[in-house]
Amino acid sequence: MIALTDHAEGVVLPVRAQPGAKRIGVQGERAGALKVAVAAPPQDGRANQALIEALHAALGVKRSQVELIGGQTNRDKRFLIRGVPRAELEARIAKLLSE
């Protein structure tokens, strides 16, 4: 189960990043976080930008609704998802994980 938390501006989504991956996209759940693999290397923030792109596409939200708020240089990151109610985000994530 993904450990979503409420935030004053939306919902915080924990993400376990896998930069430099050959197979990209949502890879499932790991230790309460959504595991997302991106091809970009972890240099100069490129992997973080790729994660934002991947999350915006996978969750069906605008790029501006996804903001990295923690873990800039760590594999374990926290993203703020704005404009989506927690229940709706949980449903979208459940759909992603069932595919």
Q: Quick one: pLDDT at residue 29?
A: 96
Please give the model's pTM, rounded to 2 decimal places. 0.95
pLDDT tens digits, one per residue of 19-50:
999 999 999 999 999 999 999 999 999 999 99
pLDDT score recorded for residue 3: 93
Q: Among residues of the chain, what percentage have pLDDT more than 70?
A: 100
CA 98 to chain centre: 16
Distance between CA atoms of 64 and 29, rounded to whole angstroms?
A: 24
CATH node for 5-98? 3.30.1200.10
Q: What is the mean pLDDT of residues 1-20?
A: 96
- Domains of the chain by residue range: 5-98
d(CA 2, CA 23): 21
Of 93, 94, 91, residue with least CA distance to 79:
93
pLDDT-derived band of residue 97, with 50, 70 and 90 as boundaries?
very high
* Alpha-carbon gap, residue 27 to 5, rounded angstroms: 21
| Mean per-residue pLDDT of the chain | 96
